[in-house]
Amino acid sequence: MPFVRTTESFRAGARTMPREYYASPEVFAREQDAIFARSWICVGRERDFTEPGAFQLVDLAGESLIVVRDREGEIRAHYNVCRHRGTRLCTESSGTLSETIQCPYHAWTYRLDGRLIGAPHMTGTPGFSLADYPLHSAAVGRWEGFVFVTLAEHPPPIDQAFAPLHGRFSRFNLPALLPVRRIEYPVAANWKLILQNYSECLHCPTIHPELTTRLPYTSGANDLTEGPFLGGYMEIRAPHQSATMSGRACAIPLGDLPDEDLARAYYYTLFPSMMLSLHPDYAVYYTVAPVSEKASVVTCVWMVHPDAPSKPGYNIADAEEFWDRTNRQDWHICEQSQLGVSSRVYAPGPYSPRESVPAAWDREYLRQMAER
């Protein structure tokens, strides 16, 4: 992979984005339509939907979706809206549905694939046909064991959208990894500040005392430096073996990793709102859900090799505490940025060469906002 030293990809003169991108409800509404209602958005992993009927409710761009594995094994994403009078069909956040989804109001009944099969007192009405009222559905795609949905009516195939990542993470065994921890963080900051924060480590010496000793911020390089997927790696400083509180590995390796990967931590953003951290012994994925122009919820899931928990030395708490502490340091500074960028006097400031990735992220964001 063609790794690039951070500074080489830097475009001189890059500056942060203006105030309204962080403070304007109108920009937020436009983003919801132009980005979150059109992109492929990660809503979990295939293994979260094991058996037919297994479902989760997902909130996306103001919509409630029922993501469910149907009887034929397909994963579906139905809008949680009855075609009769619009009632929410499901209220539990997750669980297992029977053969059908029945509206609790007037008992309209749908198969798990969305087809309407019952509508009391309608079926004899002239001009009414069950076939005209299936549930509205969103497209579903899969990549490396993750499930993505999109509200776009004519979305690009996910394989095409994710082509730049094809095969890049195969050795990390992602589809098989076992989720072992999950935390939701409410953050009083615009979602973009969270993505930008994740994209550079210039702030690490000031903000993250623990992390800095394990992952020197000037180490490593980026291998994805333009476009919707951005990131690279940092070096794990010996004698540390991983990004954990103790510095020791907390689990067996994720896969059959080459030696160089055993001393690297990889960090990528997947536009718009997914972040993926790969360490030798564990992986973490984040999804950032925008709530308003000044509030977000970040969900963070730790994953290990499926055999790891039964092996000697397993101690995921060592990695969990490391990132929980680091995350909270990051969310706090994002919240302080949110307050500051809302000022009348805030104007775009200069990015340093060490912030080439957030600068590239901003370019991708602006390109997509302009295009849609």
Asked if 1 touches a second copy (CB under 8 A), the answer is: no
Q: What is the DSSP string of 264-329?
A: EEEEEEETTTEEEEE-SS-EEEEEEEEEETTEEEEEEEEEE-TTGGGSTT--HHHHHHHHHHHHHH
Nearest to 131 by CA among 122, 139, 140, 143: 122
Asked if 35 touches a second copy (CB under 8 A), the answer is: no
Asked if 154 touches a second copy (CB under 8 A), the answer is: no
Among 29, 117, 163, 339, binds a second copy (CB under 8 A): 339
Among 27, 37, 316, 319, binds a second copy (CB under 8 A): 37
Among 151, 288, 298, 301, binds a second copy (CB under 8 A): 151
Site for a second copy in 242-271 (CB under 8 A): none
Compare residues 120 and 157 and give the one whose CB is closer to a second copy.
Answer: 120
What the block records as the tokens of 155 is 């979305």
Residues 242 and 282: beta-carbon distance below 8 Å: yes
Instruction: Quote the radius of gyration of the chain (alpha carbons, Å).
Output: 22
What the block records as the tokens of 356 is 């080439």
3-state secondary structure 324-357: HHHHHHHHHHHHHHHHHHCCCCCCCCECCHHHHH
- Spatial separation of the C-alpha atoms in residues 208 and 213, rounded to whole Å: 9
Smallest separation (angstroms) from a second copy to the CB of 308: 35
Compare residues 88 and 248 and give the one whose CB is closer to a second copy.
Answer: 88
Smallest separation (angstroms) from a second copy to the CB of 167: 34
Helix 191-198 vs helix 356-371: angle between axes, to the nearest 10 degrees?
A: 140
User: How many helices (H) and strands (E) would you count in the chain?
Assistant: 8, 17
How does strand 283-292 pair with strand 229-235? unpaired
Compare residues 78 and 264 and give the one whose CB is closer to a second copy.
Answer: 78
Asked if 349 touches a second copy (CB under 8 A), the answer is: yes
- Spatial separation of the C-alpha atoms in residues 46 and 23, rounded to whole Å: 36
Site for a second copy in 80-109 (CB under 8 A): 80-89, 91, 104-107
Compare residues 204 and 270 and give the one whose CB is closer to a second copy.
Answer: 204
Q: Which stretch binds a second copy (CB under 8 A): 166-174, 233-241, 262-270, 335-343?
A: 335-343
Compare residues 97 and 278 and give the one whose CB is closer to a second copy.
Answer: 97
Asked if 28 touches a second copy (CB under 8 A), the answer is: no
Smallest separation (angstroms) from a second copy to the CB of 337: 5
Q: Using CA atoms in the order 47, 50, 52, 55, what is the torsion angle rounded to 10 degrees?
A: -60
Site for a second copy in 165-224 (CB under 8 A): 202-203, 205-207
- Spatial separation of the C-alpha atoms in residues 194 and 288, rounded to whole Å: 8
Site for a second copy in 44-63 (CB under 8 A): 62-63
* Helix residue ranges, H only, the chain: 20-23, 25-31, 158-161, 191-198, 204-207, 209-214, 316-341, 356-371
Asked if 372 touches a second copy (CB under 8 A), the answer is: no
Conformational region of residue 14, where left means phi above 0, alpha means psi within -120 to 50, and beta covers everything else: beta
| Total site size for a second copy, rule CB under 8 A | 55
Asked if 345 touches a second copy (CB under 8 A), the answer is: yes
- Spatial separation of the C-alpha atoms in residues 232 and 230, rounded to whole Å: 7
Asked if 24 touches a second copy (CB under 8 A), the answer is: no
Smallest separation (angstroms) from a second copy to the CB of 229: 23
Compare residues 133 and 148 and give the one whose CB is closer to a second copy.
Answer: 133
* Residue corresponding to tokens 């694939």: 113
- Give the HSE-up count for residue 51: Cα atoms under 13 Å, Cβ half-sphere: 7
Asked if 118 touches a second copy (CB under 8 A), the answer is: no
Smallest separation (angstroms) from a second copy to the CB of 221: 16
Asked if 117 touches a second copy (CB under 8 A), the answer is: no
Asked if 133 touches a second copy (CB under 8 A), the answer is: yes
Give the binding site for a second copy (CB under 8 A).
12-13, 16, 37, 62-64, 79-89, 91, 104-107, 119-122, 125-128, 133, 136, 151, 202-203, 205-207, 333, 336-337, 339-346, 349-350, 352-354
